[in-house]
């Protein structure tokens, strides 16, 4: 299972990407996180459906320094990735 999530709110300059990477590593989720030019954070999470679901639950609130207003998701075809990275 692979899901793209666009997280909006106060999600840049608050360590969101680093916390997201730590959470993905904890859950065993592959994919990436990156800042978007529109101020949102984009995440693609791939792995076991329960782990991806747990990652989406985490994205709904993010780290303590963030203020998540919304999360838009869409399903994607899995790519077979095995690690989670921060894209710049």
Q: Is 61 helix (H, G, I), strand (E, B) or coil?
A: coil
85 is catalytic: no
Of 4, 8, 34, 35, catalytic: 35
37 is catalytic: no
**What DSSP letter does each residue of 3-51 carry, written as one string?**
EEEEEEEE-SSSSHHHHHHHHHHHHT-EEEEEE-TTS-EEEEEES-HHH
Catalytic residue among 17, 26, 34, 36: 17
Under DSSP, the state recorded for 73 is E
* Euclidean distance between CA atoms 40 and 29, whole angstroms: 21
Mind telling me the catalytic residues?
17, 35
């Amino acid at each position: 299972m692979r899901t793209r999530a666009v997280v909006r709110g106060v999600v840049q300059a608050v360590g969101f990407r680093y916390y997201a990477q730590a959470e993905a590593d904890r859950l065993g989720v592959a994919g990436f996180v990156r800042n978007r030019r529109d101020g949102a954070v984009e995440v693609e999470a791939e792995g076991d459906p329960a782990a991806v679901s747990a990652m989406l639950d985490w994205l709904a609130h993010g780290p303590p320094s963030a203020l998540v207003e919304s999360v838009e998701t869409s399903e994607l075809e899995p790519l077979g990735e095995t690690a989670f990275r921060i894209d710049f």
